[in-house]
Structure formats: C-alpha cells, structure tokens
C-alpha cells in the first residue's frame, strides 16, 4: 500500500483484480450449481413420494407401500441421544482447555513445560487429529468398545455412543472457538472485581459463549445425521417392524435405508430413496434452522 | 485415543443398557444383500399372519452375516454363496450347529449395449478369454475374441471384488474363484453397472438377472454357450425357466439361508422358516429371483424337518453348475 504506483501499473492491477474477482465468483458458482443440480434432481424425483403414509409405514417389498418410520425414528433418537452425551463432555473439555489449562500453562505459550501445559498440549493435538479421522474407524472403535467390550450389543445406545464419539472432537473445537470470542477485557474486569475462576466461567464466559457453542454443536450433530459407515459397522438394521422401546433396542437409520433402496433393481425403490433423502435433508435443515434460532435468541438475551 | 478423552467418554457411555421388560426375542436375520429382498418379502408377508413375531433383518453381506451367525448374534444368515470351510470352523468353535437351506436361484446375466446387434451369443471360453487375469493388457479388442466381431476395444463392467456375484462369476468362467483381470470397471452398486453398460456401445458386463429384467429396454442380453449339450444345446439366455431347470449354465447359482439348529426349538423361528419355504415360493419371483422346483423345495423342507446339520459344500467355496435337486438328492 505504501508503494507508489504509476497510472499504467494501477490499470494493470485493476484488470488483475477484476480477473481475480471473476475467478472467485466462478469458484462460488460451481459448487452452488452442483448443489442446486443435486437438490433439484432429488426434489424432482423424491418430493412427490413424501407423504404421511411414507413417513409412517414400515419397509415393504412393494415400493409404493414402503415407508421410513423405523429409520426416521432411529435417526432422530440416535442423534438426540448422541447430542445429549456429547454436549456436556465436549463443552467441559473445551472449558478446561481454554480457561483452566491455558491459564495454568500461561497464555501466549510462555510456559509449556509445566505438567499441566504438557497435558493440555497433548489433549489439543489429539482432539485436532481425531476430528480428521475417517468415520468408519469410529465405527470399528464403537464395535470393539461399546458393542463387544461394554456388552451393549448392537443397540441404539451403542450407535449413539459411537456417533457421540464421532462428533466430540468437532464439538470441542467449536466450543473452544466460541470461548475464544469472549473478549479478554471482560475476563480482566471479572478478575478486577475479585471473581474466582469458577465465577468467571459460570457467570461471564459461558453465558457469552453459549450461542456459539450451541451453534457449533448442532452443526456437528447434523454431520452425524448423514453418517452411514459407522452405523453399518455397529449393526443398524434395514428391516424392522417395531420402534425402539429402550436404549437397548435394535435400530435402523435413514442413511442405511437410503443405501439399501438405491441398490435395488426396481426403479420404484430409487424413487423411495430420493424421498428418504428429501426427508433427511429436511431434518438437517430443521436442525440448522434451530441452530440459527437458538443463536439469535441467546445473543439478544446476552445483549439485553 | 488419549486416555483422558477415553475416560470422559466412558463416563458418558459406561452404564450398561437400561434393563426394561425384555421384549420377546426377535427372529434376527442378517447377511447377503442379494438374499435380502426375498427375506424382506417373506418377513412382510409373515407379519400379516403373525403380527406378534418380531423379525429384524440387517444387510452386512454374506461374509458379515456368517461372522454374526457363528458368534451367535443372529439365528438366520442369508448367503449368496455356500458357507466356507473357515466359517464352518468358526461356527464349530462356538458350538453352533446349523441347517443349510437353499431358498432360490439367481441367474447372472451377461449384458451389452442394445446397439451391439452383432453380439448374438458368447461362449464360456470366450468369456474366459476376456476376463482371465492373463488377458489384462493383451486382450482388449472384440476382434481378438471372435474374428467377425468389430475391431474396437471392449469395456468390461462387473460387481466389486468383495461381492458374492464376482466370486461366483470368476469361479464359473475363469475357473479360479476371486481371480480376474483388474482393468474392468467395478461397482458395488449394480445400478451403476446398468448405467455404465447402457451408455457404452462397446460395453460387456455381468450382474444379477433382476437388474437386467428391470432395465431390459436399454440393455442387450447375451445368451451363453457352455459347450455341454446335455444340459441344453446351443447358447442359452437366462430366464426364470432356464435358470430353474438348470439349462442356463454355468451362471446360475443357488441362494441360501442358514439357520442355527438350536433356534429351531423356538416355535416362531420354525414357523417363520416353514412359511419361507412354502408361501415364500411365490414371493421369490415377485422380487425378481427364481424359485426352486417343487421337488427341490420338498427336499429342502425334508432337510429342515430332519435338521440335517452341516453343509453339502464340503470342499467350501462356490461350486458351479449344480441344481438343488442334484445336491440334496445325493444325500438320500
């Protein structure tokens, strides 16, 4: 900015800038176009299939009579349970890392050599790595740990625990981000008023960070809604004629049902798959809308 | 995983599942995706007459199903191939005896693009010449297979190497199970194969007959000549009839259900199975597969009644060119 530019140089720069903006616009347009095509195709084939009977029927050999009830209920229960398990654990981990361990280790990377600082660093690296682990590995972990070792069997609980593990790193990362957005000036003000660390976290940091934490969590959980691979490994079923009565019940899930229908020879089942995808998308949209609503609500309250 | 994280997670997930009033144990089934549509149809029809019996079906493939079956997790396993020696041993180690029940046939269709009107039939030797591992890189053009076929490269499509269909095809055509050239287009989803063959004028592919029948207007079925006139002379196209009467060879295979002998003491399992073998016959063709002959069904029912345990496929693996009558008839 400090370099003086000749008029011709400026003109050339303006051309370059235009080119760059055009390129950026294309980069935005391409994925949006692909998304629109996908959505359009799915909606065109699937939307007409979604009606009350489709939502409330059990699987059938007649595609026109088949429905997604056990899969839909399974998906909702699975993700609600997973969210309930992962939220407290994830937020607590984030608070510890952000408010306690950082403080013990000294902010700004001054003293990483303390035991606490070393531990915090280890946890941090592990969480960042876990966030990138392919979901099938969580499925295998869940199979070994929850299904076999802890004797949960191929139950709803085992599936929910596996999904909870899967989204946990994302929840921790999102919560840490949210905690970091709380300005340090507020922390310092609380210190100055003689607050203890617990009071600081409880009264100042957490309320301010909550909208961000909830948004992050809901977005993380909506990632789990579409997961197929870990549920296949855990043993989600395709054909069920009853709904789960407890956490130890066998279960089905929407992605499993969709996968099964897309691989059937009859074209009618492809329509069913498209219909189920529409329902899955609607579920995701509802979740995301809920995230936005919650954030807006809490932000208004915290400003007031 | 980090120990702290693990303990956090265990804290959340460590409690054993809540013990509610145990619902009646379901008839738990798992296994091959090929057998699934039949079992689904039977379970649905069975529910209409016995709504209180709970049936659950999972789809983890023939191998995955046997794994669950031999660890006692399920009582019925569907399989598109006979149980292997290693799986028999795994069952034996757990003290699980089983009854092997052929329930239907599946034909594997060889298909091409509808414009390939010159492709009237193909022999097993020609298929072998195209698919065997040695063909990779050397056999690439139609004219190399038969002189009057066009001098253009052909493109091969087939199920992924983890599928039972691939195993059976290679056993029947190449002669060695699970061995073929690697430069074909594989897909785990047969609808992708249909799409591939239907849009490529030089394609040759194979998959379950049901997929051909649902897409017969955009595919060309290629009759297969096995060179054995005693089971039907000349090239034979797969159909309900030629698969059932054993003339479409060698690409017809039986599909199986394996039941744990101990589960047969549960009346609802026994009733489900006898329903499967009696009323299920009509459902088999409804979902696109080929029912056994009446004689064969009788033999299977006898086998179930006698609880004949073990597999007739002693050597293990896919065997080619067998009818269920031939197999079970030998036992008597």
In tens, the pLDDT along B241-253 reads 999 888 898 999 9
- Report the pLDDT averaged over residues B138-161: 93
The pLDDT of residue A303: 64
C-alpha distances in Å from residue A285, one per residue of A137, A254, B65, B119: 27, 15, 35, 50
Cβ of residue B197 closer than 8 Å to a chain A Cβ: no
Residue B81: burial class (beta carbons within 10 Å; 0-12, 13-18, 19+): buried
* Pairing outcome for strands B203-208 and B98-112: antiparallel
* Interchain proximity A141–B1, CB inside 8 Å: yes
Cα(A13)–Cα(A25) distance, rounded to whole angstroms? 18
Cβ of residue A257 closer than 8 Å to a chain B Cβ: no
Cα(A204)–Cα(A182) distance, rounded to whole angstroms? 9
* Interchain proximity A59–B288, CB inside 8 Å: no
Cα(B277)–Cα(B124) distance, rounded to whole angstroms? 33
* Residue B222 tokens, joined: 């290629």
Percent of chain B predicted with pLDDT > 70: 89
- Give me the residues of chain A with pLDDT under 70, please: 1-5, 102-113, 302-304
C-alpha distances in Å from residue B81, one per residue of B168, B224, B242, B298: 8, 21, 20, 21
| B156 DSSP assignment | E
Q: Where are the alpha helices (DSSP H) in chain A?
A: 7-46, 52-56, 69-95, 102-105, 115-130, 135-142, 156-180, 184-192, 197-199, 206-225, 229-234, 254-262, 267-303
CA distance A96 to chain B (A): 12
C-alpha distances in Å from residue A207, one per residue of A200, A299, B131, B175: 10, 9, 66, 70
Q: How confident is the model at residue B15 (pLDDT cuts 50, 70, 90)?
A: very low
Cβ of residue A154 closer than 8 Å to a chain B Cβ: yes
Helix axes A254-262 and A267-303, enclosed angle (nearest 10):
150
- Mutation target for A interface from B3, B55, B56, B283: give the one with most A CBs within 10 A: B56
Nearest-by-Cβ selection for B18 from A88, A154, A247: A247
The pLDDT of residue B1: 41
Bridge-partner residues for B225, per DSSP? B123
| Class of the CATH domain delimited by A69-303 | mainly alpha
C-alpha distances in Å from residue A29, one per residue of A19, A21, A26, A34, A36: 15, 12, 5, 9, 10
* Interchain proximity B2–A122, CB inside 8 Å: yes
Q: Is the pLDDT of residue B162 over 90?
A: no
| Domains of chain A, residue spans | 7-49, 69-303
For tokens 């203890």, name the residue. Answer: A196
Cα(B225)–Cα(B229) distance, rounded to whole angstroms? 9
Over the Cα atoms of chain B, what is R_g?
22
Bridge-partner residues for B187, per DSSP? B159
pLDDT tens digits for B312-331?
876 555 666 667 877 776 55
B22 vs B224, more confident:
B224
Q: Is the pLDDT of residue B17 over 50?
A: no
Cα(B316)–Cα(A89) distance, rounded to whole angstroms? 49
Cα(B127)–Cα(B139) distance, rounded to whole angstroms? 11
Q: How confident is the model at residue B108 (pLDDT cuts 50, 70, 90)?
A: very high
Cβ of residue B235 closer than 8 Å to a chain A Cβ: no
CB B112 within 8 A of CB B156: no
* Interchain proximity A123–B55, CB inside 8 Å: no
Q: Is the pLDDT of residue B45 over 90?
A: yes
Cα(A59)–Cα(A62) distance, rounded to whole angstroms? 9
Q: Which residues make Cβ contacts (< 8 Å) with residue B219, sequence separation at least 6?
A: B111, B112, B113, B114, B194, B197, B198, B212
The residues in B 53-82 lying below 8 A from A, measured between CB atoms, are 54-60, 68, 73
Cα(A54)–Cα(A68) distance, rounded to whole angstroms? 6
- Report the pLDDT averaged over residues B35-45: 94
* Interchain proximity B191–A59, CB inside 8 Å: no
Ordered by where they begin, the domains of chain B are 26-105+252-329 (3.40.190.10), 107-244 (3.40.190.10)
* Interchain proximity B191–A265, CB inside 8 Å: yes
pLDDT tens digits for B188-211?
889 999 999 999 999 999 999 999
Cα(B95)–Cα(A300) distance, rounded to whole angstroms? 65
Bridge-partner residues for B78, per DSSP? B31, B257
* Interchain proximity A89–B60, CB inside 8 Å: no
Please choose, from the candidates B20, B19, B55, the residue with its C-alpha nearest in 3D space to the C-alpha of residue B276: B55
Cα(B161)–Cα(B134) distance, rounded to whole angstroms? 17
* Interchain proximity B214–A168, CB inside 8 Å: no
């Amino acid at each position: 900015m400090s370099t003086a530019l000749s008029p011709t140089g400026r003109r050339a720069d303006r051309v370059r800038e235009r080119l760059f903006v055009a390129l950026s616009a294309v980069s935005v347009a391409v994925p949006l176009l692909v998304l629109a095509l996908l959505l359009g195709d799915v909606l065109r084939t699937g939307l007409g299939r979604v009606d009350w009977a489709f939502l409330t029927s059990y699987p059938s050999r007649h595609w026109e009579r088949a429905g997604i009830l056990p899969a839909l209920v399974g998906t909702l229960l699975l993700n609600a349970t997973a969210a309930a398990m992962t939220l407290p654990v994830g937020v607590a981990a984030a608070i510890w890392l952000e408010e306690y361990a950082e403080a013990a280790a000294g902010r700004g990377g001054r003293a990483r050599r303390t035991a606490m600082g070393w531990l915090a660093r280890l946890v941090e690296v592990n969480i960042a790595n876990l966030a990138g682990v392919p979901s099938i590995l969580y499925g295998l972990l869940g199979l070994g740990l929850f299904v076999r070792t802890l004797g949960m069997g191929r139950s709803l609980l085992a599936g929910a625990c596996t999904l909870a593990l899967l989204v946990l790193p994302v929840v921790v990362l999102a919560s840490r981000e949210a905690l970091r957005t709380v300005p340090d000036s507020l922390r310092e003000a609380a210190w100055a008023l003689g607050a203890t660390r617990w009071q600081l976290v409880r009264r100042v940091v957490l309320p301010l960070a909550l909208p961000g934490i909830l948004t992050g969590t809901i977005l993380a959980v909506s990632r789990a809604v579409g997961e197929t691979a870990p549920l296949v490994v855990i043993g989600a079923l395709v054909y069920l004629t009853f709904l789960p009565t407890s956490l130890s019940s066998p279960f089905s899930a929407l992605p499993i049902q969709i996968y099964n229908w897309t691989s059937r020879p009859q074209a009618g089942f492809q329509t069913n798959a498209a219909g189920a995808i529409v329902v899955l998308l609607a579920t995701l949209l509802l979740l995301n809308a809920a995230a936005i609503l919650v954030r807006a609500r809490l932000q208004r309250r915290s400003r007031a | 995983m980090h120990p702290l994280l693990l303990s956090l997670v265990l804290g959340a997930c460590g409690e054993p599942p809540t013990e509610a009033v145990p619902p009646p144990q379901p008839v738990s089934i798992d296994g091959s995706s090929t057998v699934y549509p039949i079992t689904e149809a039977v379970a649905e029809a069975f529910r209409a007459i016995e709504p209180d019996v709970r049936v659950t079906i999972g789809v983890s493939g023939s191998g995955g199903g046997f794994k669950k079956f031999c660890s006692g997790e399920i009582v019925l396993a569907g399989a598109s191939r006979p149980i292997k020696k290693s799986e028999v041993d795994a069952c034996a180690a757990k003290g699980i005896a089983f009854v092997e029940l052929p329930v239907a046939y599946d034909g594997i269709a060889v298909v091409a693009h509808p414009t390939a009107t010159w492709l009237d039939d193909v022999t097993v030797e020609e298929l072998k010449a195209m698919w065997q591992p040695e063909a990779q890189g050397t056999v690439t053009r139609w004219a190399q297979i038969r002189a009057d076929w066009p001098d253009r490269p052909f493109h091969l499509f087939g199920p992924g190497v983890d599928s039972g269909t691939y195993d059976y095809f290679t056993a029947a055509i190449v002669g060695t199970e699970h061995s073929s050239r690697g430069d074909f287009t594989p897909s785990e989803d047969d609808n992708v194969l249909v799409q591939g063959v239907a849009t490529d004028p030089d394609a040759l592919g194979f998959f379950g007959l049901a997929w051909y029948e649902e897409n017969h207007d955009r595919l060309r079925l290629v009759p297969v000549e096995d060179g054995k006139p005693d089971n039907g002379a000349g090239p034979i196209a797969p159909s309900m009839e030629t698969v059932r009467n054993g003339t479409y060879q060698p690409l017809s295979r039986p599909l199986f259900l394996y039941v744990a002998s101990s589960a047969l003491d549960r009346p609802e399992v026994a009733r489900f199975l006898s329903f499967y073998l009696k009323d299920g016959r009509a459902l088999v063709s409804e979902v696109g597969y080929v029912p056994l002959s009446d004689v064969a069904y009788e033999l299977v029912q006898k086998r179930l009644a006698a609880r004949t345990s073990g597999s007739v496929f002693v050597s293990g693996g896919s065997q080619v060119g067998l009818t269920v009558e031939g197999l079970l008839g030998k036992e008597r």
